[in-house]
Amino acid sequence: MVLEKLGRSLDQALRKIRRLPLVDKNAINDLITDLQRSLLSADVKVELVFEMTENIKKEAMDTHLTKAKRKEFVITLVHNELIKTLGGKPAPIRIKPGKSNVILLVGIQGSGKTTSVAKLSRFYKNKGYKVAAVTTDTYRPGAYEQLVQLTDQIGVKCYGNPNEKNAIKLAVRETKKAINEGHDIIIVDTAGRHKEEKELMKEMSQIEQSLKPNEVILVIDGTLGQQAYSQAEEFAKTTKIGSIIVTKLDGTAKGGGALSACSATNQPIRFIGVGEKIDDFEEFDSTSFVGTLLGIPDLESLVKRVQEAEVEIDPEMAKRMMRGKFTLDDLYYQLKSIKKVGKMKQILAMVGGGNIPDALKDDAERNLERWEVLLNSMTAEEKENPKIIKKTRKRRIAIGSGTDYSVINRMLDQYNQMKKFMKRFLQLQKKGKGFPGMGKIDPSFFSKLGKDFKF
Ligand SMILES: Nc1nc2c(ncn2[C@@H]2O[C@H](COP(=O)(O)OP(=O)(O)OP(=O)(O)O)[C@@H](O)[C@H]2O)c(=O)[nH]1
Ligand SMILES: [Mg+2]
């Protein structure tokens, strides 16, 4: 397994949590320490480690869930935080069938470009494309022979000319030849360069401009750890980097640093190199990668279980609400369920700063108790149509419930705010905006609302 050491220590930390009868404050603190130790020893940047673990800790401490769910919830938090750090799955490179598609590999000396050209050729060949490799490396002695020898093993034709010294001419001529001979995908190798070598960086940029590739992939050596960040940044200044291949993740303890650093540049990691052999190559998918790291084979169902426990909105209630028939009872039950979820901060972040209904702020729990008493003193008509609650009714309710007018006014006020807020919340959910740990409302919820239901 890639990042074996990190995987082992993360797995151990989670095992500890799983074995406990209940997850309390101490258990969470212990987990945080374990996580920090594991991530730091995988060379993940200190600041990032603290940010990640602080997020996990806060969520874990602030969220009210049953003890049974808490354990799964904490594991899901760790999982989601790691995925967030490694970035999402990139969209595949757009290959246009029947056209010439060019992929250009660039990177520092010895990062693994030539090996990756062969690996990538095999990857696309196995998908049924007619693939060719082109070498434009006029610097490294034996560069042409190296690629020929690699591509021979997989039955891919290699184009190049060891006698041509102009890399740009070479790139254009050989790529053209490969296209004319009917190849769908041409994968172009370049000479290794140092980020300070201005001439070579310029040459790389000229090759890019002449070939107009579908994508430029930066090849980065995983043993660099967090230094990968500045390298990726430097290359991005000269060339439009579309994605990254992180190599040599086998047998380096620093892979966590390299992967998180690359992801921090906002260039997606597309593949990882996990050995010297041509088939030691994997498409990078942060979700399954993290699943393997944490030793949880069926992460998806775990995540789903926790998410299902979180947001419970009764479709009938939502329907009434959206038709302006949101009742005070609805408000009460909705607040109760949201409070149970304990995800207020994320919901608030989603609807964005300013107009947060008071009902959702910290005194919500106490409010709910008071409101329960109030609701018991109201008629069904009043709960369904709070507008009719004027002076006389207020007086009756106040006396009946033994509460102050101001509490009634406050509840009505918050009812109006919540009506607007819930509408916005559902609209966002409809657009599929969920968050890690909280998840989205199950899409089937919206289909239950029926066709006439408009957002
Ligand atoms: N263990 C391991 N070794 C790798 C991996 N990828 C490449 N290598 C090795 O790294 C060394 C350099 O690889 P190359 O593909 O020649 O690197 P390059 O970027 O083309 O090098 P230059 O052309 O000199 O800039 C070789 O010994 C490869 O076998 C990998 O994923 N894992
Ligand atoms: Mg090379």
Report pLDDT for 337. Answer: 61
Distance (angstroms) between ligand 1 centre and the Cα of 109 equals 9
- Which residues fall inside 5 Å of ion ligand 2, going by CB? 113-114
Single out the residue of 370, 367, 347 nearest to residue 358, CA to CA: 367
Atom of ligand 1 nearest to the CA of 280: 31
Q: Is the pTM of this model over 0.85?
A: no
Q: Which ligand approaches the C-alpha of residue 144 most closely? A: 2
Per the CB < 8 A criterion, the answer to whether 4 and 253 are in contact is: no
CATH of domain 4-88+296-307: 1.20.120.140
**Ligand 1: does its nearest atom lie under 6 Å from the Cβ of 250?**
yes
pLDDT digits (tens, 9 = 90+) for 372-384: 888 888 998 898 8
**Ligand 1: does its nearest atom lie under 6 Å from the Cβ of 222?**
no
Q: Which ligand approaches the C-alpha of residue 110 most closely? A: 1
Name beta bridge partners: 435: 439
Give one DSSP letter per residue of 26-54, joined into a string: HHHHHHHHHHHHHHHHTT--HHHHHHHHH
Residue nearest to atom 13 of ligand 1 (CA): 112
Strand arrangement of the beta sheet that strand 243-247 belongs to? 157-159, 131-135, 185-189, 101-107, 215-221, 243-247, 269-273, 281-283
Number of H helices, E strands in the chain: 20, 8
Report pLDDT for 341. Answer: 44
Report pLDDT for 174. Answer: 97
Question: Treating both helix axes as pointing N-terminal to C-terminal, what angle do 113-125 and 143-152 enclose, rounded to 10 degrees?
Answer: 30
Q: From residue 444, how far is each of 315, 422, 440 by CA, in Å?
A: 10, 18, 11
Distance (angstroms) between ligand 2 centre and the Cα of 261 equals 23
CATH of domain 101-284: 3.40.50.300
Which segments of the chain have a pLDDT < 50?
308-311, 340-354, 434-439, 451-455
Distance (angstroms) between ligand 2 centre and the Cα of 254 equals 23
Q: Out of 2.60.120.260, 1.10.260.30, 1.20.272.10, 3.30.470.10, which CATH number does the structure's domain 310-448 have?
A: 1.10.260.30
Extents of the domains making up the chain:
4-88+296-307, 101-284, 310-448
Distance (angstroms) between ligand 2 centre and the Cα of 191 equals 6
Report pLDDT for 346. Answer: 44
Residue keyed to tokens 């106490």: 366
